[in-house]
Structure 1
Amino acid sequence: MAVRVTQNMLNSNMLRNLHNSMRNMDKLQQQLSSGSKIAKPSDDPVVAARGMFYRSSLMENEQYKRNVDEVKSWMDMTDSTLDEVGNVMKRLKELLIYSGDGAISPADLQSMSSEVQELKAHLGTLANQQINGKYIFAGTDTNKAPYDPSANGGKGDFVNTNSSPINLEVSQNVFVTSNINAQNVFNFPDNANNIFKLLDNIITELSNGNSASQFIADMDQQYDNLLAERASLGASVNRVELIAERLNAQEVNITGLMSKNEDADMAKVMTDLKTQESVHMAALGSGARIIQPTLLDFLR
């Protein structure tokens, strides 16, 4: 059965086709000006959902990188502090060896006692090292000074007993300890025989004008233990640096995937836009021929 085509039908179809053509040009123009494939989620729900996932992954990666930076700052501060502790111990050993010289007078030994006292005070300052207002050798009690100069009858001692680790998540379900167990450094081998009690014994002997060379072996033990702790810390630093490199590479990969998902191919968009412009001009030309002439056209 034949269908009767009226002028109104021709006009309606022409206007609808022109509208679709203009809508396609508007979409391409938006892509060209924004550089993005979509302007709103309804344009392509799949692209929008993937974009949300990639952005969420980037935010997580950025937080992991911040955690890694914090861990590295703690470890760097810890390592530099332990290095200075080692320098103090080396100077103490020099004094112990020197005190064994039979030509040293009791007055000189008493002067050495004063230097050892100053070195002990400096060691206490190192034990109370802070970063961002937190004590790095206090375990999880980061708001309490681990070394108390008034402890042990005013002689000063390491009073902290907290050995809990401070863990930060540097990747999904991957945690890294940012601090060390300070009990293994300042309370080695135990609180009754730690480095500060050893220095108290050295000070007592030197103050009495006696040699303190008998404590050389104990000082060597303290120094060897310190080197072992620094070696363990160095291994942790190497691991954190590898994690940081992986996070940087992961950020580049996620950014690339997000770009492929959302960014428009500018060359293709420009080509499509020129093609659509030609199609639109052709549609306008054909539409002008479709519109039926009126009486006014003949009167001109």
Structure 2
Amino acid sequence: MKISTQQFFDRAVSQMSDRQISLSTIQAQLAEGKKIVKPSDEPDRAGAILRIKSMVDRQDRHQEALVAAKNRLQSEEAVLKNSTNLITRIKELALTASNDSYDASNREVLAIEIDGMAEQLLSLANGRDTQNNYLFAGAKVREQPFQKNADGRIIYVGDETRFRIAVGDHRDLNLNRSGTDVFGPLARQTGDPEAPVMSAVSLFESLQDLSTAIRAGKHDEMNRGIGELDQMMHRLTFNISEVGTDLHVASMQTEVVEETQLQLKSVLSNIEDLDYAEAVTRMQKQMMSLEAAQRSFAQISRLTLFDYVN
């Protein structure tokens, strides 16, 4: 068998090169804190990492959507509850005003308070969320939904759009109620009680009529206004219940998203993150192996071919 000195040199150089590459890879892993420095090193693992990161990003977007949805729903809930308190107080005043013992001056005081609360209700109906969007405007979130027209009547200029937002891979959530849903027309009965005529009247017109009736001491119209307040209270109660349900769904979905995020990030960490202790141990072994190869090469380089041939 013929043995060339060049073969020994080539083999030694190749071994040192392999060890140096391995050492450099480990050092790069330690610097990055990742198992993969270049995707080409482990294409399958790199592909899995990209897929999981995409899933994590999607859950992050769901979480952001949930935060925004909860903020808006909480704003709606606050408006609805405050409106309920106002309607309750207005009804109390209307019942008080219907007492025959109250004279015109007493009724005027009650009517003035009702007028003030009607203005508060208008302000609530034009409430905004944390993003400065009108809560009850439908899709026209930048336009005040309840406005006074040329006749001084308050009209709704929003639309009936209802939004749903994706808060999970297979879960949507109600995001809003229109102005009509909450502060829309009330049913008014007029004419002969035996053959009543039904018509629609806005909440704010109803409150104005109630105030006028109290000032005039017209008990029939006061009673009609109290009935319309009951309609409004029923509508507010329904909407509060609906918003409460949506908030409950949002809270439950938040827990689902957070748990999914934890699981995905745990899987990602197992695939991607470097075990520093294990990597340092490998680096030390590679350094020792490289040093041994270098010493061996140094010895080989000082020998001749005849030193290897028996």
TM-score between the two structures when normalised by the length of structure 2: 0.87
* Contact 2:98 2:217 (8 Å CA) reproduced: no
CA distance in 2, matches of 1:203, 1:230: 26
RMSD, matched Cα: 2.0
Structure 1: gaps (5+ residues): 295-300
Residue pair 1:31, 1:37 contacting (<8 A) in 2 also: yes
Shift of 1:87: 0.9
Give the C-alpha shift of residue 77 in structure 1.
Answer: 0.4
Aligned partners of 2:139 and 2:158 also within 8 Å: no
What is the distance in 2 between the residues matched to 1:293 and 1:278? 23
1:251 is aligned to 261
Partner of residue 137, structure 2: 138
1:215 and 1:23 mapped to 2: Cα distance?
Answer: 87
Tell me, yes or no, if the aligned pair for 1:110 and 1:208 is still in contact at 8 Å.
no
Partner of 1:102: 100
* Distance in 1 of aligned mates of 2:215 and 2:145: 27
Aligned partner of 1:246: which letter? V
Q: Structure 1 stretch 22-31 or stretch 279-288: which is displaced more?
A: 279-288
* Matched residue type, 2:5: Q
- Aligned match of 2:307: none
C-alpha separation in 2, matches of 1:281 and 1:106: 107
How far, CA to CA, are the matches of 1:30 and 1:184 in structure 2?
61
TM superposition shift of 1:173: 4.6
Cα separation, 1, equivalents of 2:147 and 2:33:
62
Deviation at 1:214, TM superposition (A): 4.6
- TM-score after normalising by structure 1: 0.89
State the alpha-carbon separation in 1 of the partners of residues 181 and 93 from structure 2: 24
Query: Does the 8 Å CA contact 2:210/2:225 hold for their aligned counterparts?
Result: yes
Moved over 4 A (4+): none
How do residues 116-127 of structure 1 correspond to structure 2 at under 5 angstroms? 116-127=114-125
- The residue number in structure 2 matching 1:89 is 87
CA distance in 1, matches of 2:10, 2:82: 87
Residues 9-34 of structure 1, C-alpha deviations (whole Å, 9 max, x = no match): 11111111111111111112222232
Identity of aligned residues (%): 21
- Which aligned pairs between 1:17-36 and structure 2 lie closer than 5 A? 17-36=15-34
1:264 aligns with one of 268, 274, 280: 274
Which residue number corresponds to residue 284 of structure 1?
294
Q: CA deviation at 1:246?
A: 1.3
The separation in 1 between residues aligned to 2:43 and 2:15, in whole angstroms, is 25
The corresponding residue for 1:195 is: 203
The CA distance in 2 between the partners of 1:38 and 1:102, in whole Å, is 86
SS of aligned partner of 2:200: helix
